[in-house]
Amino acid sequence: MFGFKRKNNDSSTQDATKETTPKLKDGLKRTRSGLFGGLFSRSKKLDIDSATLEELEDRLLIADVGMHTTDQVMTALQAFKTTDAEQTPQTVMKQVLLDVLQPVQQPLATDTPNAPFLILVVGVNGVGKTTTIGKMAKRFQAQGKRVMLAAGDTFRAAAIEQLQVWGERNDIRVIAQSHGADSGAVIFDALQSARANNIDILIADTAGRLHNKDNLMEEMKKIYRIGDKFDSDLKREVLLVLDAGTGQNALSQAKQFHEAIGITGLALTKLDGTAKGGIIFSLANELNIPVRFIGVGEQVDDLREFNASDFIDALLEVDA
Tell me, by CB under 6 A, how many residues bind ligand GTP.
Answer: 21
CA-wise closest residue to 251 among 206, 281, 214, 215: 281
Which C-beta is closer to ligand GTP: that of 251 or that of 296? 296
Which C-beta is closer to ligand GTP: that of 73 or that of 291? 291
CA angle 285, 289, 295 (to 5 degrees): 95
Which C-beta is closer to Mg ion: that of 31 or that of 154? 154
Q: Are strands 147-150 and 201-204 parallel, antiparallel or unpaired?
A: parallel
What is the identity of the amino acid at 272?
Answer: D
Please tell me what DSSP assigns to residue 247. Answer: T
Q: How far is the CB of 277 from ligand GTP (least distance, A)?
A: 11
How much is the CA Rg of the chain, to the nearest whole Å? 21
CA 162 to chain centre: 21
Contact 317/149 with Cβ under 8 angstroms? Answer: no
120 to 139: interface string for Mg ion, x by CB under 5 A: ---------xx---------
Q: Which residues, numbered 36-95, are part of the site for ligand GTP (CB under 6 A)? A: none
Which C-beta is closer to Mg ion: that of 44 or that of 169? 169
Q: How far is the CB of 161 from Mg ion (least distance, A)?
A: 11
Q: Are strands 291-295 and 303-305 parallel, antiparallel or unpaired?
A: antiparallel
Q: Is the peptide bond before 22 cis (omega within 30 degrees of 0)?
A: no
Q: Which residues, numbered 111-140, are part of the site for ligand GTP (CB under 6 A)? A: 123, 125-131
Q: Which residues, numbered 153-172, are part of the site for ligand GTP (CB under 6 A)? A: 153, 156, 159
Which C-beta is closer to ligand GTP: that of 12 or that of 125? 125
20: contact with Mg ion by CB under 5 A: no
Which of Mg ion, ligand GTP, none does residue 272 bind to, with CB < 5 to 8 Å depending on kind?
Answer: ligand GTP
- Could you say which of 22, 298, 309, 319 contacts ligand GTP (CB under 6 A)? 298
Q: Where are the alpha helices (DSSP H) in the chain?
A: 12-19, 21-27, 29-36, 50-62, 67-79, 89-101, 129-142, 159-170, 183-196, 214-230, 248-261, 279-287, 308-316
Q: Decide: helix, strand or coil at residue 237.
A: strand
- Could you say which of 184, 295, 315, 316 contacts ligand GTP (CB under 6 A)? 295
Taking the C-alpha atoms of residue 129 and residue 131, their distance in angstroms, rounded to an integer, is 6
264: contact with Mg ion by CB under 5 A: no
Q: How far is the CB of 305 from ligand GTP (least distance, A)?
A: 14
Contact 174/245 with Cβ under 8 angstroms? Answer: no
Contacts with ligand GTP, residue ranges (CB under 6 A): 123, 125-131, 153, 156, 159, 208, 269-270, 272-273, 295-298, 302
